[in-house]
Structure 1
Amino acid sequence: MFEFPYTYRYSPLSLGSDIRLLRLMPHKDGTAPIQCQLFDYSLQDSGKRTHLYEALSYVWGGSDKLRSISIDKYNLPVTVNFHTALSRLRDRFIERIIWIDAICINQVDLKELSLQVQLMAKIYSKANRVIIWLREMEPDSEQVFEDIRLSANEESTEHSKKEINQQAILNLLQRPWFQRIWVLQEVAAARHVVIMCGSVEIDRYAFCLGLKSLKLSYTASPELQTLPSVTYLIERAGLRSKCTTNLPERFSLNIRCLPELIDMFHTRKASDVHDKVYALLDMSSDEPDEAGLRPDYEVSWKELFQKLIKFALGKDVSVETSDRTQRAVIKSKGSILGQVSSVRSDDRQNVNIKFTSKNTAWNLGDKMEWTLQASAKSIRERDIICLLQGASKPTIIRLYRDHFAIIVIAVTPLKKSGSFEQLELSKSIKYFPRDFPLVWDWNSSWESRKIEKDQRIGCL
């Protein structure tokens, strides 16, 4: 670990202040040491929609190599990627006011960290703009951005569009920023977004429109499967309402219920596994206090994971988790509703379902098509639709030799076709005849496991 003399020490936030902001001092020499100041700031409304600071959305980078910046004449170690971002953001003549989590939050104070995380959505929504930092340019990065701009331009000729290097664009979209969990909330809350790679910038509208025009296929790589959901969040920046929930101190984007967000994004990466839950709370329509899910980094991962599962499936399920893994073993009673007969995937999943005649409590007819949001685990033919006792929504599971794997924990169709009537399943189904040994694995490598060939509804 690199040693820095006279290391900066944080003071508690002053009374009446919500956050700290970073003042990035200008310098005419781009290679000069980076000098900054930290000051306390209140997010209380001042009659303006936004405050005059920017917020950075980025990936911290590895801590094996560190650089030093100056904060109020004291040294502070930062990662190489963070140092590079500050170097690019620094102006020659004018100071910039920026909110950056790595510096503006005292990361070693777990109580402060827990409180600041609860303000994250509000911080990004109040910023004048959010800057997505995709790291330094690679040899083809500048051309990639020009190709995306060209694709967004309706006046471009078909010939020029054919010359676009789509593989280079896909490579850009596999950069670490697109795989992180926290960036979802950061761009979802933003009012204006700019994407920055080295010295090149592109507006979020041109970026998203260009990707749409290219009609890229994201099915070849597991890392890209939920990318349409990410670009959708970027595209809608500034259009999404920012509201206060029933709790006056809670700020929420109210996008989807928490189990749905978990289904979509639980395989994304986080430095701290707690963030796979906490990063989604202020995007959800649920109240975290009701499930005991308010951010608290002093709570063990084992306890947090158990609380989340009981919130999604009901308090009566049996759950075994561990602080060392992202894998839960669940036991529950349930009722089989049907089986997936076919799936068609693009940026969403169109699932045809054949309902089993064994279940007479839920009269849905023989077949139905559901349009579902893209999920972290892809739904496949012969996956099973069931309702677990205590759950309010169906679950999609997959049969293995000695257990069922959870694919989608809370099914909420965006569109439905067939003889469907909106029903409260927990009230309409009273009989839960089957014991389900379930495994919910959050590891991104889960899809590479071998699937049992005897996965068919007839064996159930």
Structure 2
Amino acid sequence: MNLLAQNPCALIAAGLEALSLYRLPPFRYIPLEPDQIRLLRIQPGISSSPVHCMTYNIDQKAATTKYLALSYCWGSPTRFSRTIVLNNCRLSIQPNLYQALVALRRRDEVVELWADAICINQSNIDERNSQVAQMDQIYISASSVIIWLGEAGDESDYVMRSIANRDLEAFITPRFMFAIIRILKRPWFTRTWIVQEFVLNPKQPLLVCGSAPEVTINQFLEAYYAGYPMAANERFPPIAGIGTPSKSEQARSWSLLHHSLLTMLMSIRNGIQRHSPRGYYSLDHALFATRSFCATDPRDKIFGLLALTDVETRQKIQPNYDKTVEDVFQDVTRYFLINEASTSIYWIAPFGAGKTRNKTRDASVPSWVPDFSDASMQANPIPYGDPEGYAVVRTHSKELVRVTECGKKLHVRGVKLGFVASTIKAPIFMHNIPFYRSNRSRFAGIISWIIALFKFGNLMASMARFIVAIETSVQSTEAQHMELRPEPLWETLLAPMSSTEKFNDKNDCSQKFDKMLAAARNFSESRVGWPWWITWSRTAPLIAAVAAAKPVSEQMMLAFSSGRCFLSGRERWYGIGDGEMQGGDELVLLFPPANVPFVVRKKDKEAYEMVGLAHIPSVFRKESIAKDASQWEEFVIM
């Protein structure tokens, strides 16, 4: 509960303060010269007094002023803004930034700070474009980067003080681990802009949360990783307030998600610091690494990563907020297809700049333009394909790819590989079953023993659920209509592991998967309609089968299958592809070459639209594809 809710007098005082500030004239920005930046000087004060600041312009290249660079989340726009005194004028800012200024203010000394919402005139598009292009140098040149995580709450004070005091015993307690996971769930850890802010400065960023002591990122990580193995393996008691297995697994899922985001942040930072800050990441690699991060303005999914790329990329793609989201995404896609002769961009995001899993694609947006703004886990790229690619193309002429008619039509060369006969969109995959609502009676028995199986651990339960879900789908009328067999299923799902050192024997893979299918089938058939409890002796064969195929990890299965369906082809092939694919779609290999084929749909007599990528294991041979892409048929994609 905040101070205003606790103390009516404070509410009255705040109202009087706001009234006095309102009498001040509104703040007006002094334009910046080229290569200039604007700094903020926070005047000394106590927490209960109004925030007074000064702003001034400096030449960034010649500046000797030491300043802090603030990394924070703007938060959703709200009418409950706060007012600061800036150059003896009033300026309204978002509450989260106001709280950060209060937390960073000192009683007896000024604080030099750079904060984008104040130091960039957000209403001036030209200045915004120019300053965003300089943000890498702003953060690299800062004396330190301050990460503002927000106000105290959910025992964040306890976590930050324990870390500052290096309380090693606290780090491995359930209370501490669940509290630090709640900190990881805060919005800062999910935003695209924080990536460059976090990774570019060579000094360790400082984390600030509420009024608790600040800690370095290494101190934070030491505490987090001390207890994470136990939290990941669920050796702790259930989280308070989470009573059902399904909710427990959801809690575990988001903790794993935020763990992966933190791990990715550190991976990018370590790579940047070991090499040059400039150009360590190509744009497609940066987009891939940050695909699960979010941005309030979808254009920032591109602009917020340019600082990680090389000079040539930044010359070709520059921040321009005059352009629409669709135009920015289209420019990036054209850059990869024409300038880089690469289709790697399609491994990163779904098709259609207006299309995500929660909304339909804007018909005015070309289907060949990916949606880089979709940060949902269902947007995971298809991570498979022949390591050498389906194509043996030797031609890399940019003339084979062109865009016409105001940038709407993509002309590319391609080879037709076959037609999709039918698809299975029933809940095949493990993550769909527990939350399945329609046709519930069909899955009631499966759900019952799955939930009971949680006593043996989430990983084991999820794997068992996955196996039985596949077997259930194989036995369904729809699957029988496809003449679908278990063998293509395991081959499709486990193909990425076939090229790894630990799991490179497909025959071994087949045998292990067959054992899992047999054990799961016997187990599920004997358990339908049984009570919620299940004895260890009855589950032992299934547990042993799952353990034998341990490389088939829950997270890999989830990443491969999410939002997708199984395909069967008229040429008797099987595969996996985008959930929106349907019978009659065509499978094609397009230039520039990709490791997996595309699925396209006839739009009219002359043009197609892209549906997505597909993975068809062990079917097409590279020898059957013309080596010279100039001999391929031309496709018009709209």
Match of 2:262 among 213, 227, 239: 227
- 1:58 correspondence with 2:72: yes
Name the counterpart of 2:40: 22
Q: Which runs of 5+ in 2 are unaligned?
A: 1-18, 233-250, 370-379, 394-496, 503-554, 563-574, 579-586, 602-608, 616-624
Aligned-pair CA distance for 1:147: 5.2
CA–CA separation in structure 1 for the residues paired with 2:86 and 2:320: 28
Structure 1's 137 and 434: CA in aligned 2 closer, same or farther, altered over 3 A? farther
Change (3 A) 1:395 1:109: farther
- 2:183 pairs, out of 162, 172, 186, with 172
For the pair 1:378 / 2:559, whether they are aligned, the reply is: yes
1:26-41 correspondence runs (5 A):
26-27=44-45, 29-41=46-58
Shift of 1:26: 0.4
Q: Among 239, 262, 269, which residue is 2:273 paired with?
A: 239
Matched AA of 2:209? C
How many angstroms apart in 1 are the aligned matches of 2:289 and 2:389?
Answer: 30
Match of 2:313 among 288, 296, 303: 288
1:414 matched residue in structure 2? none
Matched, 1:369 2:500: yes
The structure with the largest helix share of the pair is 2
Distance 2:202 2:499 in 1: 38
TM-score by length of 1: 0.68
- How is 1:69-108 mapped onto 2 (pairs within 5 angstroms)? 69-108=84-123
Structure 2 partner of 1:123 = 138
Q: Which residue of 2 aligns with 1:132?
A: 147
1:9 equivalent in alignment to 2:9? no
Q: Which of 287, 291, 304 is the equivalent residue of 1:262?
A: 287
Q: Secondary structure at the match of 2:91?
A: strand
Bigger share in strand: 1
2:159 maps to which of 119, 144, 150: 144
Equivalences, count? 380
Secondary structure (helix, strand or coil) at the match of 1:119 reads helix
Pick from 286, 290, 297 the counterpart of residue 272 of structure 1.
Answer: 297
Q: Check 1:60–1:388 CA distance in 2 against 1; reply closer, same or farther (3 A cut).
A: farther
| 1:308 CA drift (Å) | 1.2
Which residue identity does 1:230 align to in structure 2?
Answer: L
In the alignment, is the contact (CA less than 8 A) between 2:146 and 2:207 conserved in 1?
yes
Contact 2:39/2:56 (CA < 8 Å) preserved in 1? yes
1:65 Cα offset (Å) = 0.9
1:444 counterpart residue number: none
Separation in 1, partners of 2:501, 2:635: 26
Shift of 1:436: 11
- Cα distance, 1:67 vs. partner? 0.9
Are the structure 2 counterparts of residues 212 and 312 from structure 1 closer, same or farther at C-alpha, using a change threshold of 3 Å? farther
Counterpart code for 1:70: V
- Which letter does structure 1 place at the counterpart of 2:128? L
| SS, match of residue 276 in structure 1 | helix
TM-score by length of 2: 0.51
In the alignment, the residues of structure 1 paired with residue 382 and residue 223 of structure 2 have an alpha-carbon distance, to the nearest angstrom, of 25
Q: Percent identity?
A: 23
Distance in structure 1 (CA, Å) of the matches to 2:103 and 2:271: 23
**Preserved contact between residue 388 and residue 595 of structure 2 (Cα < 8 Å):** no
SS of residue in 2 equivalent to 1:391: coil
Give the direction of change, closer, same or farther, for the CA distance of 1:429–1:229 in structure 2 (3 Å limit): farther
RMSD between superposed Cα atoms in Å: 4.7
- 1:318-333 mapped onto 2 (5 Å cutoff): 321=353, 330=367
Alpha carbons of 1:256 and 1:93: their partners in 2 closer, same or farther (altered >3 Å)? same
Give the aligned residue type for 2:180. Answer: I
In 2, Cα distance between equivalents of 1:139 and 1:95: 31
- Residue 389 of structure 1 corresponds to which residue in structure 2? 590
Which 5+ residue runs of structure 1 have no aligned equivalent?
Answer: 244-251, 333-347, 409-425, 439-460
2:280 and 2:360 map into 1 onto residues whose CA distance is 25
Distance, in Å, in 1 between the alignment partners of 2:201 and 2:628 is: 42
The higher radius of gyration belongs to: 2
1:52 aligned counterpart, secondary structure: coil
Equivalent residues of 2:597, 2:613 under 8 A apart = yes
